[in-house]
Chains A and B, each alone.
Chain A
Amino acid sequence: RKEVEQDPGPFNVPEGATVAFNCTYSNSASQSFFWYRQDCRKEPKLLMSVYSSGNEDGRFTAQLNRASQYISLLIRDSKLSDSATYLCVVNNPAGNKLTFGGGTRVLVKP
């Protein structure tokens, strides 16, 4: 089982719709979780950290479910500019290293 797994997609989303996707992680001792966004042929950029209580940043909402070992990202009122690959990142407590998921591709269409 991979340390961090994501549905690669693509998720084809009509503009204005809501899309949500999950990321599962295998190490129950993981403490820190993040969502990064990567545009085509660009470097990954931090979208948001994921807190235990869940957090919201504008149209983006991140949730953490420790019991089932997954995090989620929900995008409301999707914009064309939201089209990107969303990378799930989990901290590996042993060595304090980050492990990246394979990414979920989202395509928002008019």
Chain B
Amino acid sequence: SAVISQKPSRDICQRGTSLTIQCQVDSQVTMMFWYRQQPGQSLTLIATANQGSEATYESGFVIDKFPISRPNLTFSTLTVSNMSPEDSSIYLCSVDGTRTGNTIYFGEGSWLTVV
């Protein structure tokens, strides 16, 4: 499986500010995904980060709130914009482990608390 590094691992942010999370993979991967896991909840897919084009967002998530970059096949960023306490969550970067994209592996996550 790929080694996935996320930064920051955790942060406490003021409401109204924005934070960018970085995800670095040790090998080229086709599919990169961003998930959110709110306290006590399961994982929800935010978007698929596409290399060289705009990310594909899931229902309920928009580019203005969660802009995503994917400049190459090993790196992606997720920005959480204009944060509110409701954005306090774990944000997880993941990549596909097979050609079909069925199995995914996760980075260690970025734990954000908005105060």
Contacts and interface: CB of A to CB of B under 8 A. Distances in A.
Interface string B60-99: 0000000000000000000000000000000010000100
Interface string A87-110: 100010000111011110000000
6 contacts: A41-B111, A43-B106, A43-B108, A43-B109, A46-B1, A87-B43
A102 B42 contact: yes
Contact of B42 (A41, A43, A103): A103
A41 B102 CA distance: 24
Given A46-B103, A96-B100, A102 B41 contact: yes
A86 to B, nearest CB: 11
Interface residues of A, number: 18
Contact of A98 (B41, B92, B104, B107): B104
B50 to A, nearest CB: 13
Given A49-B103, A87-B42, 18 more contacts: A32-B103, A34-B103, A43-B92, A43-B108, A43-B109, A46-B97, A46-B103, A46-B104, A87-B43, A96-B100, A96-B101, A97-B45, A98-B45, A98-B102, A98-B104, A100-B43, A100-B44, A102-B41
A36 to B, nearest CB: 9
Given A97-B45, A98-B45, A43 B107 contact: yes
B42 A101 contact: yes
Contacts of B101: 96
Contact of B102 (A42, A44, A91): A91
Greatest chain B CB density within 10 A among A43, A45, A46, A49 is at A43
Contacts of A97: 45
B105 interface: yes
B103 A44 contact: no
Nearest to B100: A96
A100 B100 CA distance: 18
Contacts of B44: 100
B4 to A, nearest CB: 9
Interface string B18-56: 000000000000000000000001111100000000000
